[in-house]
């Protein structure tokens, strides 16, 4: 498994229910694959890497905001590129 970094947002698997429904962020790396996690409710717990996943919901929210911004610029007639758009002639 790929190592995680401090301040990464993660989802944790609960011991009893095996559900991936607890969220938090990494505040410290321990020995081997142990990470200290600060949960959204403020509690701090140590977890092994196998019980952690990156929170992809945060990533998808960032991407959707960027896509909305680009679409808005296109609707307003602004181009992302400074390059002048050339007219294309069709070869008949």
Mind listing the pLDDT tens digit for each residue in 53-72? 999 876 565 556 566 555 55
Query: What is the pTM for the complete model shown?
Result: 0.60
Going by C-alpha positions, the residue among 24, 84, 92, 16 that lies closest to residue 54 is 24
Query: What confidence score (pLDDT) does residue 36 get?
Result: 97
Contact between residue 54 and residue 4 where contact means Cβ atoms under 8 Å apart: yes
Q: Tell me which CATH code domain 9-75 carries.
A: 2.30.30
Over residues 1-29, the mean pLDDT reads 92
pLDDT at 38 over 90: yes
Query: What confidence score (pLDDT) does residue 57 get?
Result: 75
Q: What are phi and psi for residue 38, nearest 5 degrees? A: -100, 115
Over residues 41-49, the mean pLDDT reads 95
Place of tokens 């400074």: 82
Domain regions of the chain by residue span? 9-75
pLDDT at 7 over 80: yes
Q: What number of CA atoms fall less than 13 Å from residue 31's CA on the CB side? A: 0
Over residues 6-14, the mean pLDDT reads 93
pLDDT at 74 over 60: no
């Amino acid at each position: 498994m790929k190592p995680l970094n401090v301040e990464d947002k993660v989802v944790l698997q609960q011991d009893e229910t095996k559900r991936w429904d607890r969220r938090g962020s990494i505040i410290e790396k321990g020995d081997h694959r142990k990470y200290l996690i600060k949960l959204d409710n403020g509690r701090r717990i140590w977890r092994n890497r196998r019980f952690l996943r990156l929170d992809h919901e945060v990533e998808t929210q960032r991407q959707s905001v960027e896509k909305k911004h680009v679409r808005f610029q296109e609707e307003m007639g602004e181009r992302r590129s400074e390059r002048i758009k050339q007219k294309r002639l069709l070869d008949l």
